[in-house]
Amino acid sequence: MNTYTWQQVAQNLKNGWLVIDGIVYDPTPYLNEHPGGPAVLQNRFGKDATRDFNETGHTSGARQILQKYQVGIIDKTSPQEPWQAGGGTPASAQQFAYLIVALVIVFILWNIFAK
Ligand code: HEM
């Protein structure tokens, strides 16, 4: 099987490539058959969809369908763009930071006005 870098996956965004568990897939022919709808797949084009795929409770049947659309494996040493990450960790870390800042502001205001 061919090996692709994250950069190549990004370049094939329009071709509908996405990555699940280190395998590169082109599920374009499957879009309209997907029980979860085409949009959720399209949103993950060019990205690592591992976490989304696993967290949406796909069955082993879904994994079998997946096999048909393999195009290669990912070069794990290749650099990944932040937007390609599958966990959404940067976004949620950012949201967490906002929450802390908001709590600190509330705490300060509370101290000023509660006196
Ligand atoms: C190419 C990759 C994918 C394949 C082959 C695939 C296949 C399937 C299949 C066969 C089902 C029916 C339930 C099952 O048998 O597990 C399903 C349901 C679903 N999929 Fe995917 N899936 C893929 C990627 C994704 C991704 C990336 C998401 C993103 C969130 C997603 C979201 C869903 C949802 C929400 C359902 C449930 C639909 C419902 O029950 O109404 N899928 N998928």
Tell the residue nearest (CA) to atom 7 of ligand 1.
62
Nearest to 88 by CA among 32, 42, 57, 50: 50
49 ligand 1 Cβ < 6 A:
yes
- 77-87 confidence digits (pLDDT tens): 999 999 999 85
Dihedral sign computed on CA atoms, order 105, 106, 107, 111: positive
Q: Rounded to two decimals, what is the model's pTM?
A: 0.78
- Average pLDDT value for the chain: 91
Ligand 1, residue 63: give the atom nearest the CA.
5
Q: Is 62 in the pocket of ligand 1 (CB under 6 A)?
A: yes
Specify whether the CB–CB gap between 49 and 18 falls below 8 A: yes
Pocket flag, ligand 1, residue 44 (CB < 6 Å): yes
Q: 47: burial class by Cβ within 10 Å (0-12, 13-18, 19+)?
A: buried
Confidence of residue 1 (pLDDT cuts 50, 70, 90): confident
Q: What value does the mean pLDDT take over residues 79-106?
A: 79
Q: In angstroms, rounded to a whole number, what is the distance separating the alpha carbons of residues 115 and 112?
A: 6
Atom of ligand 1 nearest to the CA of 62: 10
Determine the CATH number of domain 2-84: 3.10.120.10
